[in-house]
Structure 1
């Protein structure tokens, strides 16, 4: 099922800080993650799956991952625990 999220719903949100980018889960939750997470195979797999399911990001259309927020929270925690990304 393709997301019908409009760009107007995301245009009011702040731009991610330098070195970060925004992703959305299928249930609409926004995650702002470090660009360094692109080094991880799990995030790259999710991005490839997203492109297959929703098409490439175009214009203001957000990147929507084919997972829910609970799964993405697990991915982010695992990447943080593995030391990927900026140090807090």
Structure 2
């Protein structure tokens, strides 16, 4: 039995390539942000910008910054944690 994350948009994985700024803005709905999550292989998630103000999410960002910094070769916000942990966090944020 699966679970549903209605406000979490899972972006499809495609070939790794550099996107122009116009392609990035069209692939992310207004009011959302793309985040890459994963320890080895990164998976792209699109979440509402409002999540950035949630205390649990801010804690996760702070821990990622302390350990890895935000200067990442992918050029996007990257959180090096387990995908399952990220999905659990998002799920708990949506249910509260």
TM tier, smaller: 0.5 to 0.7
2:45 matched residue in structure 1: 31
Unaligned runs of 5+ in 1: 1-7, 83-88
CA RMSD of aligned residues (A): 2.6
Does the CA contact (< 8 Å) of 2:70 and 2:78 recur in 1? no
TM-score (norm 2): 0.62
Unaligned runs of 5+ in 2: 1-15
1:73 aligns with 2:87: yes
In the alignment of these two chains, the number of paired residues is: 75
Structure 1 residues 54 and 39, CA, compared in 2 at 3 Å: closer, same or farther? same
> CA separation in 2, counterparts of 1:44 and 1:55?
14
Does the CA contact (< 8 Å) of 1:50 and 1:63 recur in 2? no
